[in-house]
Chains A and B, each alone.
Chain A
Amino acid sequence: MNTALIHIRREFWEHRSLWVAPAIWVGLITLMFTYTIFAVIPNHIGKDGIVIEPDKQTMSQLSENDRKDVEKTIAEAREHHHQPTAEEKDTFFAFSYLASTAVVTLFTIIVVFFYLIDCLYAERRDRSILFWKSLPISDAQVVLSKLAVALVIVPFGAILVAGVMQLVIAVMVWLRFHGTPMWVELPEWSLLAWFKSMVVSLVVGLGGVLWCAPVAGYLLLASSWARKNVFLWAVLPPVALCALEGFFLHSTQVLQFIGWRLFGFVKLLHLNPSALNVGTHDSKEDLPHITDVMSQLDMSGLFTNMDVWAGVAVAAALVFVAIRLRRYRDDS
């Protein structure tokens, strides 16, 4: 266990972008949000929040007919304006949390991509592979620790960090709006909604990790294989295949396959947009309803799908080849 831990720590020592880049990204999001609620919102909508009252001076300058039109519009606005229900507040939180987690994890995926193509190549580039190989560490230990960092530690760490970011933002919102008329308009902070969104994010993350495992395996293999220009080795083959297919066969099967292999797992989760009532704006129903975010996900589709397990098997084969390459390759 301690050996596994030191291998993981070593990856973060070497590839500091793994934690520095997401940390900066999360910090920026938090700062921008904080700046917006403290500095921008008061200037635009006033310190009292949303006030649906006509401006007396403006009204006095209007003609009778115009004044009546304005009063009618304001009356309609007041009629449509309603206090959100607790359920709507939960839903609002769940969705905003899921969205903010997505923003953090999508950024992290870019960081992980560059980590994967570099991690086995860098040790050959600086010849430090001879140092690592002078220690009693197996090639499988090394490669699998890198895979664990890319597919477990960083993605799930990013989701947890996004969760913490959401808590910080919730505190900022409370500090800014608590005690102001705006507070009643805002959804109350809900631990349940936060917790549910975290669970959903982690479950979706697990689906994504299983689904994208062969992509990670391919990138590790490229990193282990390339003598130089590892980025080209990683990117050029699929791009070239797409281009060749388009040029000679005028079809996009490869592109579709790659798209399916990258994002197809979302379909398998059976997310049902209609069940979430997203986009319905009937009178007071201007927020989507979900009573339980978890109930919108059907993980069975993911775990019973043969494509998922075929992908995991391909990933295992690619990682095995990467381990063998590292073991027997002699270009140090």
Chain B
Amino acid sequence: MTAIIEARGLTKHYGDTPVLRGVDFNVAAGRIVGLIGPNGAGKTTAIKAILGLTPFDGELKVLGLDPRTQRNALMKEVCFIADVAVLPRWMSVAQAVEFVAGVHPRFDRKRADEFLSKTDIKMHKRVRQLSKGMVTQLHLALILAIDAKLLVLDEPTLGLDLLFRRSFYDNLLNDYFNKERTILVTTHQVEEIENILTDLLFIQHGKIALDAQMDTLGERFVQLVPAAGNAERARALKPFYEREVFGRVAMLFDGVKESELAALGETRSPSVADLFVAMMSPPGATPAATAKEAA
């Protein structure tokens, strides 16, 4: 598989504060990768590095290009939505379409017009006159009409209601994504995108905490709710996280066979949100551990 993004030892400091601490990861072609992490984990900095928007140390190749020195060539192949706030508010819809058509060699104006005609967006309206959802639709229309190899989305649905969020990702899958294209997306609303992701990158404190393909998560991670009396036996298998819900303990295991755990209680595959909470919580500070300490 061709690597679209190759990062080795990606490092970035803001003053004395390290934001990325030698991050390594690959993103292959035709994948939809979720870069997930808590606030301040380094997601946006990693994305800025990928887009050549910020200086960094380490090695980084995006589509074989160095974002530090070959940014202009790179942006012909890469599209980027930061969040709904970045479309210039003074611009009219028609001007936005005309401008992108004028500067982007891979922009298909007809496609953008077609997409916009299915929405309530009027061409003469200015961005400041559109609702947040409409601004996102407009941005998406511009992006979908660009024949780019990599699409980078940084919190693209921030501040949108559920209907717009759902329609955003539906459009992305139906009208944009194919095997030639790669999407890298960061969001806090993990549960909404976990069904469309093919790969997962968890980032915490400037380091990659998890780099896995979605279809391997079920084999690798298992959630167990032990039957009464089995909790200690289950703990002996070293869960990396446990929590108490309604008086019952739920444990998460990494690399323990599901068949082995099934004998101890009820098992299932954890959701990405479960994994996120488990892996982002500091060691020893799980809700269960905290509860025990308090007792």
Contact = CB atoms under 8 A, between A and B. Distances in A.
A65 interface: no
Nearest to A135: B103
B104 A135 contact: yes
A127 B85 contact: yes
Nearest to A131: B86
Interface in B67-102: 71-73, 75-76, 79-82, 85-92, 95, 98-100, 102
B51 interface: yes
Nearest to B106: A136
Chain B interface residue bracket vs A: 20 to 34
Interface in A153-190: none
Contacts of B90: 13-14
A323 to B, nearest CB: 12
A210 B238 CA distance: 75
Contact of A131 (B48, B71, B88, B95): B88
A217 B116 CA distance: 40
Interface stretch (A2-10, A223-231, A247-255): A2-10
B54 interface: yes
Given A127-B85, A131-B86, A134-B80, A332 B53 contact: yes
A129 B88 CA distance: 9
A277 to B, nearest CB: 51
Contacts of A123: 88
Contacts of A7: 103
Interface in A106-146: 123, 126-131, 133-138
B40 interface: no
Contacts of A332: 53, 82
A134 B88 CA distance: 13
A126 B88 contact: yes
B18 interface: no
Chain A interface residue bracket vs B: 20 to 34
A126 B86 CA distance: 7
B34 to A, nearest CB: 20
Interface in A1-42: 2-3, 5-7, 10, 13-14
Given A3-B103, A134-B81, A328 B55 contact: yes
A137 B89 contact: no
Contacts of B98: 6
A266 to B, nearest CB: 37
Contacts of B79: 134
B95 A13 contact: yes
A127 B86 contact: yes
A330 interface: yes
Contact of B75 (A3, A135, A328, A330): A135
Contacts of A136: 72-73, 75-76, 103-105
Nearest to B101: A6
A129 B54 CA distance: 13
Interface in B257-279: none
Contacts of B73: 136
Nearest to B73: A136
Nearest to A140: B72
B242 to A, nearest CB: 40
B4 to A, nearest CB: 17
B183 to A, nearest CB: 14
A183 to B, nearest CB: 49
Contacts of B88: 14, 123, 126, 128, 131
A330 to B, nearest CB: 4
B86 A128 contact: yes
B78 to A, nearest CB: 8
Contact of B72 (A3, A126, A138): A138
B75 A126 contact: no
Contact of A135 (B48, B85, B92, B100): B100
A24 B100 CA distance: 31
Interface of A: 2-3, 5-7, 10, 13-14, 123, 126-131, 133-138, 327-328, 330, 332
Interface pairs A-B: 10 shortest CB-CB: A6-B102, A134-B80, A128-B88, A136-B75, A330-B54, A130-B82, A130-B86, A136-B76, A131-B86, A138-B72
